[in-house]
Structure 1
Amino acid sequence: MTSFLTSRRMRGGLTGVAVAAMVLTTAACGGTTRGEDEGSDAGAEATASADPDAEIPADLAFAFLPKQLNNPYFDIAAEGAESAVAEVEGELNVTGPSEASASSQVSYINTLTQQGAEVILTSANDPNAICSALDQARSGGAKVVTFDSDTDPECRDLFISQATSEGIAQAQIDIMAEQIGGSGQVAILSATANATNQNAWIALMEEYAAEEYPDMEIVATVYGDDEDEKSFQETQGLLQTYPDLKGIISPTTVGIAAAARYLSGSEYKGQVALTGLGTPNQMREFVKDGTVTAFALWNPEELGYLAAYAGAALAAGQITGEEGETFEAGELGEYTIEADGTVVLGEPTTFDADNIDDFDF
């Protein structure tokens, strides 16, 4: 069987046109990725308490709880988790809310706890709202791995980060600056107001833009709540409110696709730049018709795949979640746990007209 990783490498792999700013992000995070174990005392002590050779139990009960169902980004991440769970011969239950509100995941976590889920993989809609429910799940023996968007580190065992927040923020600002000549009014179209990852990226984007591009003014941040129609309307509202707007950054796959759809059928096509985080498949038509020049993203399928393997390693006792421990993530290879129980997937890719057809996700 040709795996999703192998098939993607045959098409050119993840390297593509890598985001140049990302090379600085490993140092910024203060840790290592993919087996670059620095051999700290803390890491050695943590590894001694784990059993790296422990076998992953058969028939592990995994639960995949995204911010919301029927979101293309999380659908792809679920496919990655499904591949990993199949490889470790476990069982996967995909469940979740239809809306990405702050507390919408709580009842699902409670149900999963009652059902005896052994590994819960979740992307938090809010940094605090699900903590109590996750604590109960862990008290019942479940291992909790957050991915994409974290909760309070005290409420989970590991967080699988797409890349460092600094790198993600800098990449989006750099792409926008290149398109608008480093000056002009820019707005941000985010997901929900409580989204941990979005808020971290936005704060860092504002800081980086002020330092590196003083003539670029971020005039507003609006929220489409990761809903297509609302994101579409917020895009329209931004353009009406700010007639001199030169660009929109949308660090959410739902938002960037909705904004692109609006721009592509409007007088602003080719006049207002758009970038952010999107998948090649959803953005291909907008790159080819000239609405979007470039955007960035990691592979969400790999993110779900890594999260599932991390959960399996926790359940097996191969790792405990301490800094310095390492584990094997199937075809992705070896990863090292960094500070605060974080594992970094790797560097995103910038997609443009030259390379977008090399990817299929």
Structure 2
Amino acid sequence: MITSLQRRKRAALAVTSAGLVAALIAGCGGTTKGSDAASDSGGSGTEKTADPNAPIKEGLKIAFLPKEIDNPYENIVDKGGIAAVEELKGTGKEVGPSDASASSQVSYINTLVQQNQDAIVIAANDPNAVAPALKDAMDKGIAVVSYDSDAAVDARQVFVNQADSEDIGRSQIKMVSEQIGGKGKIAILSATPNATNQNTWIEYMKDELTKPEYKDIQLVKVAYGDDDDQKSFQETQALLKSIPDLKAIVSPTTVGISAAARYISSSPYKGKVVLTGLGTPNQMRQFVKDGTVKEFALWDPEQLGYLAGYAAAALASGQITGKEGEVLKAGELGERTIGKNGEIILGPPTVFNADNIDDYNF
């Protein structure tokens, strides 16, 4: 955690419905970058060489596009990203749809292209649904960074991953196994069926369960709350009523785990059914203190956004191209080496429980 980053005054641009409509209308009159810009900024199909000594351009316009505009976790991520952009003397903003459907982000990408943004930073609802629009953005010289939930590899230049996907998936099985004594039925409450990050983690969770030490744990269902609070609440209720001997729910989504905790906390299942997964301390604090949840995990989402903001600025300035082995200079986070397929990893997640949750404020 970066205390100095948290102390800095941030002015995240929250988009209201009226402001969003105005932004979309204004975007229709914008111009797109020409073919020269595409060759300068690494559009798809253009081979580029990074110049690590190139200065970060001042006045960059960088837009952050979450899965949905009202997702509290991604609002925190984007807040950190906007802070990074402003630190680099650019302008950052957050725009996005009110729902997390597969194609809901496409119109926003098209508008950001029309607005002549220098970079788009996106958490993709569906890796393939957004790919054509993102490729068009790169062809027009706009740098594209994905974070949290990746887009198709050829539809972005860099993917900023919160932690190693395998570690995230396997660690959640280890956490739930410890809490249920290594035996019993478990269910997963995920986000959307097409969410890249969720599906990757779930595959590693399933693989982890094939190990001999988990032979007495049975994954009976994967449910989807679509990263919607009310639907996740209802899915939790349905899981517990349809599987009477369910021992635990693992929810690798901040929206899902908080909704599940809210339901369990005021139900007869409190203290009987384990809940763990990925959540923010501020969302989960009351449920840890009232005994609904023993422990859960997450990385610092503000740092994730900060790293993505620096990656976008470095791409737009020609410092990096997303090639494996390049080094990103990420301000207060130090340096990160770009891995295979343009992946940059923030770092391992933190496990939160009653002993340390009050040490964190995000």
Q: What TM-score does the superposition give when structure 1 sets the normalisation length?
A: 0.87
Distance 2:5 2:287 in 1: 25
Q: Which residue of 2 aligns with 1:97?
A: 97
Which residue of 2 is the match for residue 188 of structure 1?
A: 188
Residue 337 in 1 paired to residue 335 in 2?
no
1:214 aligned partner = 215
- Count residues with an aligned counterpart: 321
Counterpart of 2:62? 62
- Tell me the residue number matched to 2:295: 294
The answer for unaligned runs of 5 or more in structure 2 is 8-47
Aligned to 1:149: 149
SS at match of 1:49: coil
Contact 2:78 2:302 in 1 (8 A): yes
Give how far 1:49 is off.
2.9
Identity of aligned residues (%): 59
| 1:23 corresponding residue in structure 2 | none
> Are the aligned partners of 1:8 and 1:359 in contact in 2 as well (CA < 8 Å)?
no
Superposition pairs of residues 135-284 of structure 1, within 5 angstroms: 135-211=135-211, 212-284=213-285
Runs of 4+ in structure 1 over 6 Å off: none
Aligned to 1:134: 134
CA displacement, residues 163-216 of structure 1 (integer Å, 9 cap, x when unaligned): 111100111111100000011000000000110110111111011012141111
1:112 is aligned to 2:112: yes
The residue type equivalent to 1:142 in the other structure is I
Which amino acid counterpart does residue 241 of structure 2 have in structure 1?
Q
Contact kept? 1:295, 1:350, Cα under 8 Å:
yes
Q: What is the CA distance between 1:320 and its match in structure 2?
A: 1.0
Letter in 1 for 2:224: Y
CA deviations on 1:85-137 (whole Å, 9 max, x unpaired) are 11101011210000000000000000000110111000000010000000111
Distance (whole Å) between structure 2 residues aligned to residue 349 and residue 213 of structure 1: 23
Q: How much has 1:4 moved relative to structure 2?
A: 5.1
Check whether the contact 1:5–1:331 (CA below 8 A) recurs between aligned residues: no
Q: Deviations over 1:50-95 (max 9, x none)?
A: 2111111111010100000111101100110111011101011210
Larger relative contact order (Cα-Cα within 8 Å, sequence gap ≥ 6): 1
Contact 1:191–1:252, Cα closer than 8 Å, also in 2: yes
CA shift at 1:346, angstroms?
A: 0.4
1:117/1:7 CA distance change after superposition, 3 Å: closer
Unpaired stretches in structure 1, ≥5 consecutive residues: 10-47
What is the root-mean-square deviation of aligned Cα atoms in Å? 1.3
User: How far 1:7 sits from its partner (Å)?
Assistant: 6.4
**Cα displacement string for residues 142-166 of structure 1 (whole angstroms, at most 9, x for unaligned residues):** 0000000001111100000011111
